Structures are given as structure tokens and as C-alpha cells.
């Protein structure tokens, strides 16, 4: 629907405004969690102190270090998933399904082979990252659909924003932070919109491509109407054969890894294995899937080799078809799993710029309409402002309380393992609901007060990390613990920027009140 009686450019401006108002809060939440997901492994190490180990040795034996633990912890599990250590995650990782506790993840010291004390946290990879693409709304994939709608809306916002602004490129060079707040917000909105336009277009489009089978399931159903297993085999390389009977023999995983490396080397494919998945380990038809790492290229390759679990013989080899190359490339661009720290920081900056872009737009819209809507008895500006605060500083507060709970909950208390992780999640959502209630009840003060709360909580996170682990900032910097020091430094940067923003909003509000003093009671009722 286009604005009636308007030209094309004005219609685009109308579309830009209302798409931003309707989707801005959701986009703000997605961009925030997406920005954090760039460093999800580093967040894991901060939240799971037991994994703060030195770089792993170059040669590892899964037969010696992992198989004994897998047989002891999960003898009846249908699948063992083993992630090999990397510089970002310097531990062996064993995942399996437990009938009582669901999905369980245990860490193994690659230097000693000892089990690390169960950290009881989902951290960045299992809480923040899934929130980015599913909002933790898994019923009927509701979260995926909402995120997909937001991605489409972001593309609409980018295109309509470029069309609607006649002087967008000229105003790119104009930023007046000392002007009144509304003018500064509009300048900031235009500046960030132009600077990161290509990045935001790429990240929104690639996100839609990644989830295309969720949004367009009829394509897969038309190609494979009666055999979805064949789709998984040809598209993803997921080999499967049904169980046939018990067996006690498990061939050497180390030998299979060596065979996989030899095959990939002979094919001129760089990189080594990063994941080993054992399906039906104690069955004659069990098999072992080995995946090639994708840290040396942008494209997330789909290279997999499948071996017989009892004999170690090669059963199946998979590489993505050329037609899937574009999809795998766009997936790699979005997930940034390749080793390039400069690009990783640029992705992080681009994600935060998206938060600034959306937040400044929402602040500008509510600020320009708040007084008028109050006079007219309308709740539009108040509602949008409450949602914006909830998705902006409110979500950051929820994230920081999530970190605080992680540092305060004991590892050896009555709540352990997945129970502790669930409790951290409840702290996140309850604190988020609290910020929503505060924003709805005190809309005029919400931005300032919650930004101040962000500053205090971020500093508290840094202090708590030092008190509870001994890895205070100076210690982390001195001992080269880059992930921990980087996390603390970013928390301090977050605190400083939010406190400055809160101060600017508070001073603007005080100036507005001094320029527009309340009318005397007698005059108002005259």
C-alpha cells in the first residue's frame, strides 16, 4: 500500500518510515545478537572459565582422549559429536543426547585427556547465536519466520532509504554532534546508513538465502517428493543407513582422520578435519562422518567423508555441487567462520553500526512525535518508544544480567549442568521483561535510565570476572589471554559509550524542560 496522493519518492519515504517503525525493534534485537555472535566462541571462553586453556597441541589422539569418555558417559547415545580444538576453542568438545538432560556438551582437556568440570552454561554459541536467527521461538519455526520477515524488511528499508533521500550522499559528509539532539540523530542515521549500506544489504540477503528451505519448503518437496533422506544425502552429504545389529568393535578414529586428510590432500583441498560424528557407535551399520574445516576460505565447504564404524572403510564422499557454490559462499559470508581477524572486527563494527542506524531512526521518530501524540491523546509514539527501549538498552541489560548470573551461580551448587544453563536463560528473559515494564511505565525516562543501567552492569561484569576467576584485565593482558581481555575491554567500551549517550539524553531533556516550563495551575484551568 502506498501513501495516497504522493509521488514515488514521497511514497518511498512513507514506506521507509513505517517499515522502520513496525520492524525496527525486532531488527534492533537481531542486529545486537548478530554482532555478539561474531565473537560467540570468545564469549564462551569468558562464560566457561574451565576452557581458558593454552593453545592445543598439534597432534591429538581421539582414540586415547575422547573415546573412553564417550563410552563411559554416553554408551547408549545414538550419536557422538566430537569437535576438534582450535585456537579460538582450545578444548575437545563432546556432544551427545541424554534421556534425562537432553543435549549434553562436555569439554575435554586436550593436553591431559581429563574431563573439564561441567560449566553449566550455553554461552554464546548455544544461547546468543540461536537467538539471532530463531529468537528461541522454536514452535512451528515461528522465530525463523519472524527473522525472515525482518530480513526482508531490512532490504526494503535499505532500498527505500536510498530512494527517499535526495541529499543522502551529500549528507554523508555532514555530522553535527553539537546540534540539537534531533538534528544529530538524523545526521547519525544518514551517516551510518551510507557507510554500511553494502554490508547490511549483503548480510540481510545472505541470511534469507541460508534459510531458503525453511521459507520455501515446496521446492525440496517438489524435487524429492517421497525421499527426504536423498535430499539430505545429495544436498548436505548426510549419509545414513539403518541399524542392523549390535557390535562391540569401533575402528580407530585416528586412522580415519589420517585417511580423510590424505584424501583431501590428494584432491588439492586445503584444511583439516574439524568435526567427527559417530552414528550408532555400537551397531554393525554404524558410521563415522568427518567434515573438512572451512577456516581457510570464505565459502563454507560441504566436504564430508563417511567411514564404516567397525572396519574404517570409506563408504561415501561428498562435495557440494557447483550449483550450490553460490549458496555456500553466501553462507560463509554470513557466518564468518574463516580465519581473518580484521574482517571479523569489521563484521562486528558493521553489526553495531546497524544497531546505531536502527536506534537513531527510532529515537528520531519518537522524539519528533512524542509531544504531539501526548497532546492528542495518542499512544503511538509511547508504544514505539517502549518497544525501542526494550529492544535496545533493554536487550543489552538482559545480556549483561545473563553474564552476571553466569559469574555468580556456583559450579558446584545444587543447580548444575543444563539446569544451571536453563537458569541463566531464565535470568535473561525475566530481566528483559523487567526492562519492558519499566519502558512502558516510565517512557520519558526509559532511554536515559536504562543506558545508565547498561553502564553499571557492564562494569560489574568486568569486576565479577576478576573476582570469581582471578583473570582480571591486567592479568589477562599480561598472560596473553586475548579472548578474556578483549571481552573485558569491550564491556568497558560499552559502559563508557552508554553512559555518554545517557548523559547527552539527560542534558537534552533538561534543556527542553527549562525552555518549556510547566504552566501555572491557575493558567492551565483558566
Arithmetic mean of pLDDT, 184-196 = 82
Strand order of the β-sheet with 314-318 is 102-108, 92-98, 79-83, 273-279, 287-292, 304-308, 314-318
Mean pLDDT of 41-66: 94
User: Does 64 reside within a domain?
Assistant: yes
Compute the distance between CA of residue 219 and CA of residue 233 in angstroms, rounded to an integer: 16
Q: Which of left, alpha, beta for 477 (phi over 0: left; psi -120 to 50: alpha)?
A: alpha
When the pLDDT of each residue in the chain is averaged and rounded to a whole number, the result is: 88
Residue 89 lies in a domain: yes
Residue 76 lies in a domain: yes
Whether 434 is covered by a domain: the verdict is no
Query: If pLDDT is split at 50, 70 and 90, which confidence band does 280 have?
Result: very high
Please state the domain count of the chain. 1
The percent of residues above 90 in pLDDT, for the chain, comes to 58
Q: 82 - beta bridge partners? A: 94, 276
User: Can you tell me the distance from the alpha carbon of 40 to that of 127, in angstroms, rounded to the nearest whole number?
Assistant: 9
**More confidently predicted of 524 and 376:** 376
Contact 84, 276 (CB under 8 A): yes
If we measure between CA atoms, which residue out of 158, 155, 159, 160 comes closest to residue 206? 155
Within a domain: 109: yes
Where are the alpha helices (H) located in 173-281, listed in sequence order?
181-195, 197-210, 212-215, 217-223, 228-231, 253-266
Query: Does a structural domain hold residue 311?
Result: no
Q: At what angle do helices 482-515 and 40-47 cross, to 10 degrees?
A: 100
pLDDT digits (tens, 9 = 90+) for 164-176: 776 666 665 566 6
Would you say residue 107 lies in a domain?
Answer: yes
Distance between CA atoms of 203 and 367, rounded to whole angstroms?
29
Please answer whether residues 88 and 42 qualify as being in contact, where contact means their C-beta atoms are separated by less than 8 angstroms: yes
Say which residue, 181 or 494, is predicted with more confidence: 494
List 279's β-bridge partners, or say none. Answer: 79, 287
Q: How far apart are CA 519 and CA 393, in angstroms?
A: 33
Query: Any idea what DSSP says for residue 352?
Result: H
By residue range, what is the domain housing residue 74?
49-118
Q: What average pLDDT does the segment 29-46 reach?
A: 97
Assigned domain for 80 exists: yes
Amino acid at each position: 500500500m502506498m501513501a495516497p496522493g504522493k509521488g514515488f519518492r514521497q511514497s518511498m519515504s512513507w514506506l521507509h518510515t513505517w517499515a522502520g517503525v513496525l520492524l525496527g525493534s525486532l531488527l534492533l534485537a537481531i542486529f545486537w545478537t548478530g554482532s555478539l555472535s561474531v565473537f560467540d566462541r570468545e564469549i564462551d571462553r569468558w562464560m566457561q572459565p574451565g576452557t581458558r586453556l593454552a593453545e592445543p597441541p598439534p597432534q591429538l589422539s581421539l582414540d586415547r582422549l575422547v573415546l573412553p569418555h564417550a563410552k563411559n558417559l554416553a554408551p547408549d547415545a545414538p550419536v557422538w559429536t566430537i569437535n576438534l580444538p582450535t585456537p579460538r576453542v582450545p578444548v575437545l568438545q563432546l556432544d551427545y543426547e541424554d534421556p534425562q538432560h537432553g543435549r549434553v556438551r562436555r569439554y575435554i582437556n586436550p593436553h591431559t585427556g581429563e574431563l573439564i568440570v561441567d560449566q553449566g552454561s550455553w554461552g554464546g554459541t548455544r544461547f546468543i547465536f540461536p537467538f539471532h536467527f530463531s529468537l528461541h521461538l522454536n514452535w512451528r519455526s515461528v522465530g525463523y519466520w519472524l527473522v525472515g520477515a525482518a530480513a526482508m524488511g531490512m532490504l526494503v528499508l535499505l532500498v527505500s532509504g536510498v530512494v527517499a533521500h535526495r541529499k543522502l550522499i551529500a549528507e554523508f559528509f555532514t555530522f553535527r554532534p553539537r546540534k540539537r539532539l534531533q538534528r544529530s540523530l538524523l545526521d547519525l542515521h544518514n551517516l551510518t546508513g551510507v557507510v554500511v549500506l553494502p554490508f547490511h544489504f549483503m548480510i540481510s540477503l545472505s541470511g534469507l538465502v541460508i534459510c531458503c528451505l525453511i521459507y520455501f519448503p515446496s521446492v525440496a518437496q517438489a524435487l524429492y517428493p517421497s525421499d527426504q533422506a536423498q535430499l539430505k544425502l545429495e544436498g548436505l552429504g548426510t549419509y545414513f543407513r539403518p541399524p542392523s545389529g549390535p557390535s562391540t568393535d569401533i575402528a580407530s578414529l585416528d586412522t580415519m582422520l589420517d585417511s580423510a586428510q590424505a584424501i583431501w590432500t590428494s584432491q588439492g583441498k586445503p584444511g583439516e578435519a574439524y568435526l567427527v560424528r559417530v552414528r550408532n557407535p555400537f551397531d554393525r551399520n554404524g558410521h563415522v562422518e568427518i567434515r573438512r574445516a572451512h577456516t581457510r576460505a570464505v565459502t563454507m565447504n560441504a566436504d564430508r567423508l563417511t567411514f564404516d564404524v567397525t572396519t574404517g572403510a570409506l563408504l561415501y564422499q561428498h562435495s557440494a555441487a557447483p550449483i550450490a557454490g553460490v549458496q555456500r559462499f553466501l553462507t560463509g559470508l554470513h557466518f564468518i567462520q574463516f580465519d581473518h581477524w580484521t574482517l571479523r572486527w569489521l563484521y562486528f563494527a558493521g553489526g553495531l553500526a546497524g544497531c546505531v542506524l536502527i536506534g537513531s531512526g527510532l529515537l528520531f521518530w519518537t522524539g519528533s512525535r512524542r509531544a504531539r501524540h501526548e497532546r492528542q491523546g495518542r499512544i503511538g509514539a509511547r508504544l514505539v518508544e517502549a518497544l525501542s527501549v526494550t529492544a535496545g538498552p533493554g536487550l543489552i541489560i538482559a545480556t549483561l544480567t545473563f553474564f552476571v548470573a553466569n559469574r555468580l551461580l556456583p559450579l558446584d551448587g545444587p543447580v548444575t549442568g543444563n539446569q544451571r544453563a536453563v537458569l541463566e536463560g531464565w535470568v535473561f528473559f525475566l530481566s528483559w521483561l523487567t526492562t519492558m515494564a519499566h519502558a512502558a511505565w516510565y517512557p520519558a525516562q526509559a532511554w536515559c535510565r536504562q543506558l545508565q543501567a547498561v553502564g553499571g552492569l557492564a562494569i560489574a561484569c568486568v569486576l565479577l570476572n576478576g573476582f570469581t576467576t582471578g583473570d582480571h584485565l591486567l592479568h589477562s593482558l599480561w598472560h596473553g589471554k586475548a579472548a578474556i581481555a578483549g571481552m573485558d575491554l569491550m564491556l568497558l567500551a560499552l559502559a563508557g559509550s552508554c553512559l555518554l549517550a545517557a548523559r547527552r539524553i539527560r542534558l537534552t531533556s533538561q534543556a527542553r524542560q527549562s525552555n518549556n516550563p510547566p504552566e501555572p495551575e491557575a493558567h492551565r484551568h483558566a
